[in-house]
């Protein structure tokens, strides 16, 4: 049985806490960073985390974030967007939790959203 916990992302300093999901002691954001190490997408990850930090401080990131439709159980879901990367998060009282990170798919992002919701 998998063990789920959240831990604060210490590199993001914002008014609202930003946490990442850990599944069996593996952080979703941490493993995504390792996957991108040595690629040209690492700087794009820094950019998308800056968008997330700005949003957690109450700012607007324009078209770089969108609310996902089909919200269940009253939980607000977000998709943070760059040209090649996506970060999916949810809103909890006083914090945002990074649930899933992925690359943009050529067809559409429905595979990423399905994985995020699972």
Quick: pLDDT tens for 92-104.
998 999 898 988 8
Percent of the chain with pLDDT over 90: 62
pLDDT single digits (tens) 48-94: 999 999 999 999 988 899 888 766 677 889 999 999 999 999 999 98
Which of 71, 68, 72 has its CA nearest to residue 86?
A: 68
How many domains would you assign to the chain? 1
Range of the structural domain that residue 81 is part of: 4-117
> Nearest 5 degrees, angle CA 103-CA 17-CA 94?
115
61 touches 55 (CB < 8 A): yes
CA distance 53 to 47: 10
Residue 19 C-beta-side C-alpha neighbours within 13 Å? 17
Which of 11, 18, 10, 2 has its CA nearest to residue 91?
A: 18
CA distance 41 to 92: 29
CA distance 21 to 101: 11
């Amino acid at each position: 049985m998998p063990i789920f916990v959240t831990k604060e992302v210490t590199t993001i300093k914002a008014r609202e806490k930003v946490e990442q999901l850990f599944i069996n002691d593996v952080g979703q954001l941490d493993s995504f960073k390792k996957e991108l190490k040595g690629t040209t997408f690492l700087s794009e990850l820094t950019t998308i985390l800056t968008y997330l930090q700005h949003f957690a401080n109450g700012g607007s990131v324009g078209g770089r974030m969108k609310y996902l439709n089909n919200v269940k159980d009253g939980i607000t879901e977000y998709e943070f967007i760059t040209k090649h990367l996506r970060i999916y998060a949810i809103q909890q009282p006083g914090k945002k939790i990074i649930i899933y990170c992925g690359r943009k798919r050529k067809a559409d992002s429905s595979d990423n959203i399905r994985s995020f919701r699972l």
